[in-house]
Each structure stands twice: as structure tokens, then as C-alpha cells.
Amino acid sequence: MRTVLIDYGAGNLHSVAKALTAAGLPVSLVRTPREAEGADVAILPGQGHFGQVARMFAASGFEPWLRDHVQANRPFLGICVGLQLLMDGSDEAPGVPGLGILPGWVRRFPEAGPSVPHMGWNSVHRVGASPLLDGLPDGSHAYFAHSYYVDFAGREGWTGGTTQYGDVTLLSTVSRGALHATQFHPEKSQRFGLYVLRRFADDARRWVEAS
């Protein structure tokens, strides 16, 4: 099962690759769509300003390849801004479109709420039979570092988890078919994160074997 970690210049690649390997899913780093051809599983990390990250991803040439990969229901994992990029767009850069693979918008936390960024450990509460969270105690803690959150409109056909920060209930993980994404950083979430990545690896193998 060939797994690729997409390097478009905007991700914490070393830590993500190390965590995935520890979870039993060794990855190959790819910098061009041609290098990614034939991949069974794709990982899209991301960190930083939405507009800058979206522009870097568009310039990388990976977008058509990634769309084909997701449309074919091949296993995919987006991490942090890698989740936000799947949405229609973001308050952080209103003129820069997201990929629109999932319906929703990325919004800034209210100024009247807790301190921004939302940084540190917070609980994740399961919604439905989540492939990534099943088997974990509800309310397990993950590590977050973000100033914007996903306001997800695609309420049908998904499972995952939510997290409360002040008055905001944010989407912390989503699964729809073979597509998965997390707002938290599994590579920084110690045992919780390793468990989530192992669950993703197991789910990816099932999809690949069934294809």
C-alpha cells in the first residue's frame, strides 16, 4: 500500500511522517503530482495562513491529482489547515477559494470568547460511528493550534468529532467514506494521536483491499 505525504511547502512534514511511521503507515514524500501517481493513500498536512497555504497548494499543481484521488474514494487524510483547505473558503482570506471538496466555511473565533489562538489540549466528542475515534473514551484530549475553525455545512453522510471552545462548537475531525481530516494535530497528540493514525491506517487498508 503506497502512501504519499504531499510536500507543497506548508506542512510539518518531519513530525507527521514520523508519527505515521510509528502508526504502521510509512510514507513517501512527494513534491510533484507525477511523483504521487499510483498512490493508494494521500496525506495533506498544512499550517499557517489560509490564503498563503491555499496559494502554495494551487501553485504546486497537486489540485487536479488530489481531486481525482478523493473522487475515486481512495484513502485521504487532511491535517489542520489540510482540513480547512477542503472547505469553500475562509474568513482569513475571503478572496482565496478553498477546494470546496466539503461544504463549509472557515471562521475566526469570536473576539469576545476565550483567547485566540485555540492552543493546547482540548476534548474531542464523537459524532456517530467515527472510524478514527471508535474505541477511544468520549472526551479524549487532542492537541490544537489554530485561530480559525471549520463551520461545516455537510451534515449528511459524515461522522467524526466536535470540540467546544468557549461558545463555539467546532469540527475537530470528519470522516466521509475514505476521506478523513482533523483540525487537531495527531502528530502532537501523543497516545491519542497515535491511536487516531492507527485507526486511519487500518481504515485505509480496508479501502485499498476492497478496491
Tell me how crowded residue 178 is: count the other CB atoms within 10 A of its CB: 22
Task: Tell me which residue has cell 478523513.
Answer: 180
187 is catalytic: yes
Q: Is 190 within 8 Å of 18 (Cβ atoms)?
A: no
Asked if 91 contacts 49 with a C-beta cutoff of 8 angstroms, the reply is no
Cα–Cα distance measured from residue 68 to residue 101, given in angstroms and rounded to the nearest whole number = 11
Number of CB atoms found within 10 A of residue 105's CB: 18
CA atoms of 178 and 54, how far apart (whole Å): 23
Residue type, 168: V
Catalytic position from the list 69, 146, 180, 187: 187
The single residue of 80, 92, 118, 180 carrying the catalytic annotation is: 80
- Beta strand 41-44 with 76-79: parallel, antiparallel or unpaired? parallel
Percent helix, strand, coil in the chain, to 5, is 30, 30, 40
Q: Which of 118, 146, 180, 185 is catalytic?
A: 185
> Which of 145, 177, 178, 140 lies closest to 161 in space, CA to CA?
140
> Which residues are marked as active site?
80, 185, 187
